[in-house]
Amino acid sequence: MRIVHLADLHLGFRQYQRLTPGGINQREADVAATVQRATTHIVAIAPELIVIGGDIFHTVRPSNPAILHAFRVLMQLRDQLPDTPIVMVAGNHDAPRTAETGCILRLFREIGVHVADAQAELFTFPARSLAVLAVPDVPGIDRPPLLPPDGYTHRVLLLHGEVAGLLPAHAASADRAAIEIQPEELHADQWSYVALGHYHVYREVATRAYYSGSLDYTSSNPWGELREEKAQGIPGKGFIEHDLVSGAHRFHPVAPSRPLLDLEPIDASGMSAQDLDGAIRARVNTAPGGIDDRVVRVTVRNVARHIVRELDHAALREYRKRAMHFHLDTRRPDPLPRRKGDGGGAGKRATLSDIVAEQLRERALPPGVDREQFVTVGLRYLKQAEDAAMAALPVVDG
């Protein structure tokens, strides 16, 4: 029995200010087109089960075009694969924060999709000796033990959440955190397959337990995902096909509609503004495939603020005009050099402030946000928290 596992569609995702001729945010249209290509690919595979691991939409209240597109692709699957069950769970982007607000996903029950949006549900298909335990990511959910039911040959666990200790720093999000699952809670060895959603990079968690990753670059830090995919030899975004009987496993890449290009970083130590202009121009001119209509980032390290002010901004405007989005990510020299310890040993141990400052300097920022001001504000909040913690300590006499 072959299943297809996908997750994190994030329909309705919007980014930057470019619009299509029809007035839709260009990145929203890009993501919708990627999901459509994935759907067509899935129909060609014709699996016996489709599971979707949450975050179908990017927001709890998606736009009408996003809802319409989700309806169309799900109807395509239902019409062209009428004997293939579709099981879906709500992710942290889909689930309302209050019980009074209904989840948009229940709309798709009307077209025959099996949806777990408010609580864990066990969907059974006796003719196939198949059971799917679907666990949504809902605040305050009474999560059952993640154990397979008896009496079924094929048993699939579908859930959206964060397996503790797995996600790297780049996957941290400002959104409401997903539910956290301890690895041993999965009981992965007892299931035919464990399908996970939330983490945007394809990854094996345990034997027969996988994150499928997202279908497009829709997180707050796509550059971190690109680095991880390159380091792990993962061919980008896509979905999983898995045979519950033979164990045959395949990741199907799906090309994103809008390529992302992270150009080689520039170390601007000792460069003048003219030197840096030339280095940026060289990166642009030698970019594989060019920068036109792509999302592009150039990171410049160790560059003083006055050098950034003196750059050729006419050239930068031209790059921004050619690219769908061009981000020049400038980072000032580290003002916290490590001191050598006594006797020539390793440098001093980093303080909490050092660590926070380093993380803030590496975090991806939206265009127009001044990085040094961002770091300064973050360190000020840290100092306020430390002061409050000290003030709350009990006073010990003598």
Is the domain of 209 the same as that of 313? no
Is the domain of 299 the same as that of 270? yes
Q: Is the pLDDT of residue 392 over 70?
A: no
Collapsing DSSP to helix, strand or coil, 324 comes out as coil
Is the domain of 50 the same as that of 142? yes
pLDDT mean over 171-193: 81
Is the domain of 133 the same as that of 231? yes
Average of per-residue pLDDT values in the chain: 88
Is the domain of 39 the same as that of 183? yes
- What is the predicted pLDDT for the residue at 139? 77
Q: Is the pLDDT of residue 222 over 90?
A: yes
% of the chain beyond a pLDDT of 70: 87
Is the domain of 342 the same as that of 208? no
Instruction: Identify the domain boundary among 253, 273, 288.
Output: 253
Instruction: Identify the domain boundary among 301, 318, 333.
Output: 333
Rounded distance between C-alpha atoms, residue 26 and residue 29, angstroms: 5
Give the residue among 352, 232, 141, 269 at the shortest CA–CA distance from 211: 232
Residue 93, Cα to own-chain centre: how many angstroms?
11
Rounded distance between C-alpha atoms, residue 161 and residue 59, angstroms: 17
For residue 120, the domain's CATH number is 3.60.21.10
Instruction: Identify the domain boundary among 280, 307, 333.
Output: 333
Rounded distance between C-alpha atoms, residue 354 and residue 5, angstroms: 41
Rounded distance between C-alpha atoms, residue 97 and residue 140, angstroms: 10
Is the domain of 135 the same as that of 282? no
CB hemisphere CA count around 382 (13 angstroms): 15
Look at the chain and report how many structural domains it folds into. Answer: 3
Is the domain of 24 the same as that of 153? yes
Of the pLDDT bands very low, low, confident and very high (cuts 50, 70, 90), residue 342 is very low
Residue 26, Cα to own-chain centre: how many angstroms?
19
Supply the range of the domain harboring residue 350: 337-398
Is the domain of 161 the same as that of 305? no
β-pair partners for 327: 297
Q: Is the pLDDT of residue 327 over 70?
A: yes
Q: How many residues does the chain have?
A: 398
- What is the predicted pLDDT for the residue at 175? 53
The distance in angstroms from the start CA to the end CA of the chain is 73
Q: CB of 105 within 8 A of CB of 140?
A: no
Tokens of 229: 């995919």
Q: Is the pLDDT of residue 337 over 60?
A: no
Of the pLDDT bands very low, low, confident and very high (cuts 50, 70, 90), residue 398 is very low
Left if phi > 0, otherwise alpha if psi is -120 to 50, otherwise beta: which for 162? beta
Beta-carbon contacts of 281 under 8 Å, excluding residues fewer than 6 positions away, are 315
Q: Is the pLDDT of residue 396 over 50?
A: no
pLDDT for 101-153, tens place per residue? 678 999 999 999 999 999 999 999 999 999 999 999 987 778 899 999 999 99
Is the domain of 28 the same as that of 124? yes
Is the domain of 283 the same as that of 383? no
Beta-carbon contacts of 37 under 8 Å, excluding residues fewer than 6 positions away, are 254, 255, 257
Residue 358, Cα to own-chain centre: how many angstroms?
22
Tokens of 69: 């597109």
pLDDT for 48-69, tens place per residue? 999 999 999 999 999 999 999 9
Q: Is the pLDDT of residue 315 over 80?
A: yes
Is the domain of 381 the same as that of 309? no
